[in-house]
Homo-oligomer: A and B are copies of this chain.
Amino acid sequence: MPELTVDLGDRSYPIFIGSGTLSDASKLTPYIRAKQVAIVTNETIAPLYLNKLKSLLNDFDVIDIVLPDGEAFKNLQTLETVFDGLLQARHNRTTTLIALGGGVVGDMAGFAAACYQRGVEFIQVPTTVLSQVDSSVGGKTGVNHPLGKNMIGAFHQPNAVMIDTDVLGTLPDRELSAGIAEVIKYGLICDPEFYGWLQDNIAKLMARDTDSLVYAIHRSCADKAKVVAEDEKEAGIRAILNLGHTFGHAIETHVGYGEWLHGEAVAAGMVMAAKLSCRLGAISEDQVEQLQQLLKQANLPVLPPEGMTPENFLEIMAVDKKVLDSRLRLVLLEQVGKAVVTSEFDRGELDSTLLEMCSC
């Protein structure tokens, strides 16, 4: 499987994808600038892969910073412990951070790299499907605020992304499903052929067939890299990557960070976006039904959490990052395989969609 490149001029970087990537020091070390390396990981991943990664780094001065596991810890307080570790070890501007873990670790290590001494370099080593296909690529970093997800952060591109599909062997089923939600998203927003492939191969993916996983991860990263290269800082087209995320973030914020996995919230959110797109006449009820079936085959939720009301959604969605001059913007489907970002939708249909979904 050839490597991919995220094409951003002098900030371009490679994505290595395959079985055994993490056994190959020659892929990793060219992207480390100087002697100091700080591996940021969490309590779950450290016992599994920290020593393996360290064994590739014998020629470097390596420290590790082990964070508690979970979205509930993706905040400024935990971030400060990363700075504590870097300063206690006297890491300077030439240090390279390596994020070893899922999306939470990647987002926090990346944001720490963006801010430490006003910016140091970092490498993503994502260990979940979700982080491999989504959060490790594209340079979005940050932490949550009690009033909104990912509200504090920076655009900070990594030097490289190293995806070893072997690590997925230890991924819990629930996390696999959550990652597949983002994979399905790429088909929906910009890759109808891939969406068809997913409908045919979802069972293989859920059975962790290696070839199918490598293909799906590679194709997802390729789709994402293309969008990011067009619009690094989300001035326009990049926002389509957030299909289902406005609804999904509202769910995550409402239930408390970590209660629902990000991918689970996105799955339910994509159904809501599809339902609204259907009400607006862009896609058919059959297509919404097909999406729900696909998500169910991936063991993903297709409804918001019990008890969550339309008011809950609207209140949290009002601070969404896509809101401009108080107008809510949403990612909707123009057709299956093509998404648009728009504030030009019938607000009544949004209300009806929320009412329908919240009373199921």
Contacts and interface: CB of A to CB of B under 8 A. Distances in A.
A238 to B, nearest CB: 12
B147 A319 contact: no
A325 to B, nearest CB: 5
Given A90-B319, A92-B319, A115 B153 contact: yes
Given A87-B148, A87-B151, A154-B154, A324 B93 contact: yes
A118 B154 contact: yes
A142 B114 CA distance: 12
B92 A325 contact: yes
B87 A118 contact: no
Interface of A: 34-35, 76, 79-80, 83-84, 87-88, 90, 92-94, 114-119, 140, 142, 145, 147-148, 150-155, 233, 318-319, 321, 323-326
27 contacts: A34-B325, A35-B326, A80-B145, A87-B147, A87-B148, A87-B319, A88-B147, A90-B318, A90-B319, A90-B323, A92-B319, A92-B321, A92-B324, A92-B326, A93-B323, A93-B324, A94-B325, A114-B154, A115-B115, A115-B142, A115-B153, A115-B154, A117-B151, A117-B321, A118-B140, A119-B155, A154-B154
Contact of A116 (B151, B155, B318, B326): B151
B93 A152 contact: no
Contacts of A116: 151-152
Nearest to A318: B90
Contact of A83 (B34, B80, B151): B151
A325 B61 CA distance: 11
Contacts of A80: 76, 145
Given A87-B145, A88-B147, A118 B319 contact: no
Contacts of A79: 76
A88 B318 CA distance: 11
Nearest to A325: B34
A80 B151 CA distance: 11
B114 A83 contact: no
A254 to B, nearest CB: 15
B87 A324 contact: no
Contacts of A142: 115, 118
A79 to B, nearest CB: 8
Contacts of A92: 319, 321, 323-326
Contacts of A145: 80, 83-84, 87
Contacts of A114: 154
A140 B318 CA distance: 31
A202 B325 CA distance: 49
Given A76-B80, A87-B151, A119-B155, 12 more contacts: A34-B324, A35-B326, A83-B151, A83-B152, A87-B145, A94-B325, A115-B152, A117-B321, A118-B140, A118-B142, A118-B155, A118-B233
